[in-house]
């Protein structure tokens, strides 16, 4: 905690050093900025520490305060860095044009603008994160799809992160919306929880209401491993979800066959080597002539092994679409796909932006989604 506080203090000190001396709005502007930086320095580490507080509702309230402060800080820090880059360029140009008064005005104006924009981003992001995810319709053409599978539908939810700031009242409307879609099957692609079964079982109970013709399927995400994966697998099975751990189910849809395979999280072997993610093992002994071979995999980077294994479609989550700037710029360095539909050789990969959020209650430029996938026959070749 001491190291964490020292690091957080250093980052806040940088923001104060760069903004406070130029802060407009008189003395009150300076006082408010210093006060917020002091409060944020104290609150932000508590967002990580809150889970160690056993007493409720204190633990959740501390988490709320810490995560909200993290959301504000993220935008404030990034905008401060961007302001410094802009001022550096401005001072370089000023050497040629020599207008010191204009540069001083820019310094003062930008110092006041940074916290205002950070506050606006945080407010918009909060409203986006806390509203119920909208339904995202996706149509995916599959070569050689049997006629009876044309129009086969999958409702996907992913990355809800039920935990300190997301509870039963957030999940209930999601379950209602998914059931209203009347999809042929439902897929829950990991990172469902952030906390133990003991802490959250009451809040995950609405999942038992999920209903689809061919059932509800779940694959683990990395956060299930942080939260006690064995206990959660047992709990989700109790709620009626079919948990796929490097295995598959064969569905009979009219006169056609659908193979629904699921793998453990891509990083599962770091927690339990017996859980090593294996798309090949997941489809072993499945009917070779299945009209649709579907893989549920939490992380998009499972796609390379899935393409070699002969799947038609992989649906994933994990990325949150970046959730908010600037993290959307960094996701692509860890995952091959950030959001939406992509093609990898003969494999289609759909990556959900997630149905909830993680950490700060904030989404900007990456709206949450409940995905409604409709599989259709491919009528022409796709390069």
Q: What is the pLDDT of residues 125-162, one digit of tens each?
A: 999 999 999 999 999 999 999 999 999 999 999 999 99
Same domain, yes or no: 36 and 19: yes
Same domain, yes or no: 222 and 264: yes
Same domain, yes or no: 306 and 213: yes
> Which residue would you say has higher pLDDT here, 30 or 95?
30
The most distant pair of C-alpha atoms in the chain lies apart, rounded to whole Å, by 79
Residue 325 belongs to some domain of the structure: yes
Final residue before a domain boundary, out of 130, 150, 179: 130
Secondary structure of 2-57 in HEC code, one letter for each residue:
HHHHHHHHHHHHHHHHHHHHHCCCHHHHHHHHHHHHHHHHHHHHHHHHHHHCCCCC
Cα separation, 371 vs 356, whole angstroms? 13
- Mean of pLDDT values over 153-175: 97
Q: How confident is the model at residue 381 (pLDDT cuts 50, 70, 90)?
A: low
Residue 158 structure tokens:
């992913």
pLDDT at 94 over 80: no
Same domain, yes or no: 122 and 146: no
Q: How confident is the model at residue 340 (pLDDT cuts 50, 70, 90)?
A: very high
- Mean of pLDDT values over 295-321: 97
Same domain, yes or no: 120 and 144: no
Final residue before a domain boundary, out of 73, 95, 130: 130
Q: How confident is the model at residue 90 (pLDDT cuts 50, 70, 90)?
A: confident
Q: Which pLDDT does position 104 carry in this prediction?
A: 85
pLDDT at 194 over 80: yes
Mean pLDDT for the chain? Answer: 94
Residue 323 belongs to some domain of the structure: yes
Q: How confident is the model at residue 382 (pLDDT cuts 50, 70, 90)?
A: low
User: Edge-to-edge strand order for the sheet containing 256-262?
Assistant: 247-253, 256-262, 292-296, 313-316, 347-351, 340-344
Same domain, yes or no: 58 and 74: yes
Structural domain boundaries enclosing 84: 2-130
pLDDT at 383 over 60: no
Same domain, yes or no: 52 and 141: no
Question: CB–CB of 310/347 below 8 Å?
Answer: no
Q: How confident is the model at residue 229 (pLDDT cuts 50, 70, 90)?
A: very high
Same domain, yes or no: 181 and 194: yes
Same domain, yes or no: 122 and 171: no
Cα separation, 79 vs 69, whole angstroms? 15
Residue 35 belongs to some domain of the structure: yes
Same domain, yes or no: 82 and 146: no
Same domain, yes or no: 166 and 265: yes
Q: What is the tally of structural domains in the chain? A: 2
Return the CATH number at 263.
3.60.21.10
pLDDT at 54 over 90: no
Residue 382 belongs to some domain of the structure: no
Residue 9 belongs to some domain of the structure: yes
Same domain, yes or no: 114 and 191: no
Residue 277 belongs to some domain of the structure: yes
Closest alpha carbon to 243 in 215, 222, 213, 271: 215
pLDDT at 98 over 70: no
Residue 177 belongs to some domain of the structure: yes
Cα separation, 348 vs 327, whole angstroms? 25
Query: How many helices and strands (H and E) does the chain possess?
Result: 11, 12
């Amino acid at each position: 905690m001491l190291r964490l506080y020292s690091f957080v203090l250093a980052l806040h000190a940088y923001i104060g050093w760069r903004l406070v001396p130029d802060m407009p709005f008189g003395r009150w502007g300076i006082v408010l900025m210093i006060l917020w930086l002091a409060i944020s320095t104290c609150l932000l580490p508590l967002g990580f520490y809150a889970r160690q507080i056993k007493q409720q509702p204190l633990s959740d309230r501390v988490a709320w305060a810490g995560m909200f402060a993290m959301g504000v800080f993220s935008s404030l820090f990034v905008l401060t860095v961007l302001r410094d880059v802009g001022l550096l360029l401005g001072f370089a140009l000023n050497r040629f044009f020599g207008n010191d008064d204009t540069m001083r005005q820019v310094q003062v104006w930008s110092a006041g603008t940074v916290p205002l924009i950070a506050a606006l981003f945080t407010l918009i992001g909060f409203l986006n994160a806390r509203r119920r995810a909208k339904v995202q319709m996706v149509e995916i053409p599959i070569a050689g799809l049997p006629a009876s599978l044309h129009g086969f539908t999958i409702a996907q939810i992913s990355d809800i992160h039920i935990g300190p700031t997301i509870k039963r009242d957030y999940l209930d409307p999601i379950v209602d919306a998914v059931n209203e879609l009347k999809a042929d099957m439902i897929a829950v692609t990991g990172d469902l929880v952030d906390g133990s079964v003991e802490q959250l079982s009451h809040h995950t109970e609405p999942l038992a209401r999920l209903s689809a013709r061919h059932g509800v399927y779940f694959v683990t995400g990395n956060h299930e491993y942080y939260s006690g994966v064995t206990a959660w697998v047992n709990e989700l099975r109790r709620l009626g979800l079919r948990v796929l751990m490097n295995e598959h189910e064969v569905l009979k849809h009219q006169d056609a066959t659908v193979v629904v395979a699921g793998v453990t999280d891509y990083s599962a072997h770091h927690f339990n080597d017996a859980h090593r993610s294996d798309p090949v093992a997941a489809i072993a002994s499945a009917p070779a002539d299945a009209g649709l071979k579907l893989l549920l995999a939490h992380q998009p980077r499972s796609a390379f092994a899935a393409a070699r294994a002969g799947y038609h479609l992989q649906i994933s989550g994990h990325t949150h679409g970046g959730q908010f700037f600037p993290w959307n710029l960094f996701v692509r360095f860890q995952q091959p796909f950030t959001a939406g539909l992509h093609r990898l050789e003969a494999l289609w990969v759909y990556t959900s932006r997630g149905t909830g959020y993680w950490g700060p209650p904030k989404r900007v430029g990456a709206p949450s989604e409940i995905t409604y996938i409709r599989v259709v026959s491919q009528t022409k070749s796709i390069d």
